[in-house]
């Protein structure tokens, strides 16, 4: 499995939440719905082999005490209209719902390791490699891959089980979701992670 020991590997699903995935959600990324079937296949295989599965969810406290600069970046979040801890929008989408015993790590920044107990969970499970999927490729997936590297974990990024979004021109020109996705994959392939498609990943599982 791309050089990793499956007995020391965990699957991490990042930010596949209602506020990102559902139609007309306040932070809707239509591309996120497209990757649900790929993530489902990975989850089915991992669960069938007893591999640890961990979910990360980006949420903020009601009232926004933990928002920080996110308050300036995302108006629906700042207004308390999205990613509120304890509300339905912040929950994992039903198609990818955690099974009993699968940890859900609540994070307040892009990197799922930052100020969370993710590292403690992985160490306790004997994990050395994390398999990353979810949204968005250039933001929370990349941030988490970098966080894994900095803590001594290997990471594998499932290239077709991650998605990005269209970027407007904010001074450096626009980028389509596809272009941004590929750019982020290229960065991670050089700086932090191995890239593998879902089919190849599943074929390498024992």
* Active site positions, annotated: 15, 107, 140
How far apart CA 204 and CA 46 sit, in angstroms, is: 12
- CB-count burial class (<10 Å; 0-12, 13-18, 19+) for 87: middle
- Cis peptide leading into residue 136 (ω within 30°): yes
DSSP 30-65: HHHHHTHHHHHHHHHHHHHTT--EEEEEE-B-TT-T
């Amino acid at each position: 499995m791309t050089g990793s020991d499956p007995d020391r590997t965990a699957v991490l699903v990042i930010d596949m939440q209602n506020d990102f995935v559902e139609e007309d959600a306040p932070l809707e990324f239509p591309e996120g719905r497209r990757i649900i079937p790929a993530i489902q296949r990975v989850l089915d295989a991992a669960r069938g082999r007893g591999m640890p599965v961990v979910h990360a969810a980006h949420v903020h406290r009601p009232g926004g005490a933990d928002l920080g600069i996110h308050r300036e970046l995302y108006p629906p979040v700042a207004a308390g209209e999205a990613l509120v801890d304890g509300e339905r929008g912040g929950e994992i989408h039903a198609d990818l719902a955690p099974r009993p015993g699968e940890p859900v790590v609540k994070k307040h920044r892009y990197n799922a390791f930052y100020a969370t107990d993710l590292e403690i969970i992985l160490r306790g499970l004997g994990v050395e490699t994390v398999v990353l999927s979810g949204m968005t490729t250039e933001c929370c997936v990349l941030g988490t891959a970098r966080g894994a590297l900095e803590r001594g974990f290997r990471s594998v990024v499932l290239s077709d089980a991650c998605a990005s979004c269209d970027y407007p021109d904010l001074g450096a020109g626009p980028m389509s979701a596809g272009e941004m996705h590929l750019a982020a994959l290229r960065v991670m392939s050089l700086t932090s992670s191995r890239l593998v498609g879902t089919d190849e990943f599943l074929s390498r599982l024992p």
